[in-house]
Amino acid sequence: MLERLKDAPAGVDVVQASGTVSKNDYERVIEPLVDDARSEGRRIRLLFEMGPEFRSFTPGAAWEDLKTGLSSLRLFEGCAIVSDIGWVRESTRLTSFLMPCPVRVFGNQERAEALRWVSSLPEGPGISHRLVPETQVLVAEIQQPLRAQDFDALTLTVDSSLEAHEELTGVVFHAREFPGWENAGSLLRHVRFVRDHHRKVRRVALAADSKLAGLVPHLANHFVRAEVRRFGYDELDDAVAWSASPPDQHPTGAG
């Protein structure tokens, strides 16, 4: 059976599995949890606990788990799995890197640590972005490891702009340090975003510390049609001005 526990910090949902988990358990516990999150406009931080009393999932429960997961993955901000069961731990480790949210396995004795971890996940996006409407330049501020949902938000903004314009004038990436990707799912979503939009961007600027200069050739390779240029981290205004200028105008900036 599944039971939704109440001994959790604010913002964290705790579900405990024991005995045999059936399809009815998912319909009774998991589906209302997901529906509550949707209606409240919040993301889910879940601790899923499978102690020594847990035995197995019925085939119907496994299907319900898959179906619910596929339809709700974007709602999850992170998931902590607490279990000492070998097959649970190994299967989670094998699949967690492909999930669009961070997933981590803890032992039964590490439950308190699991709660701390899932409670402390960074809030907000890895990328904050804004579209300058007068120039159609997208400015992306990179602050945290990049998540799949960051690229969903970027896609929504870019596609809305492309409905009214043939191309995006420019994209400016602004980062003190590149923090990488949250997991493989985030990297794949990044690749898909570039694949779908790289021919519709005229210019790409990287406003970053010199240690990130090595990213410029990679940006050039990805955005094959775009002109790519690097600026210093403190030269964001110059980077935006260059991205917005007509092709025959080149405001001064780091080359």
Query: Which three-class secondary structure string do you get for the chain?
Result: CEEEECCCCCCCEEEEEEEEECHHHHHHHHHHHHHHHHHHCCCEEEEEEEEEEEEEECHHHHHHHHHHHHHHHHHEEEEEEEECCHHHHHHHHHHHCCCCCCEEEECHHHHHHHHHHHHCCCCCCCEEEEEECCCCEEEEEECCCECHHHHHHHHHHHHHHHCCCCCEEEEEEEECCCCCECCHHHHHHHHHHHHHHHHHEEEEEEEECHHHCCHHHHHHHHCCCCEEEEECHHHHHHHHHHHHCCCCCCCCCCC
pLDDT in tens, 23-35: 888 889 988 898 8
What pLDDT sits at residue 156? 78
CB-based contact 101:79 (threshold 8 Å): yes
Domains 2-119 and 127-244 share a fold: yes
What pLDDT sits at residue 216? 56
User: How many whole angstroms separate alpha carbon 201 and alpha carbon 149?
Assistant: 21
What pLDDT sits at residue 67? 57
For 146, the token pair is 């990049």
What pLDDT sits at residue 35? 87
Task: State the angle between helix axes of 148-162 and 184-197 in degrees (0 to 180), rounded to the nearest 10.
Answer: 10
Q: Which CATH number fits domain 127-244: 3.30.750, 1.10.3470, 2.60.40, 3.40.50?
A: 3.30.750
Domain regions of the chain by residue span: 2-119, 127-244
What pLDDT sits at residue 87? 87
What pLDDT sits at residue 219? 57
Low-confidence ranges of the chain (pLDDT < 50): 70, 252, 254-255
Q: Which fold has domain 2-119?
A: Transcription Regulator spoIIAA (3.30.750)
What pLDDT sits at residue 69? 56
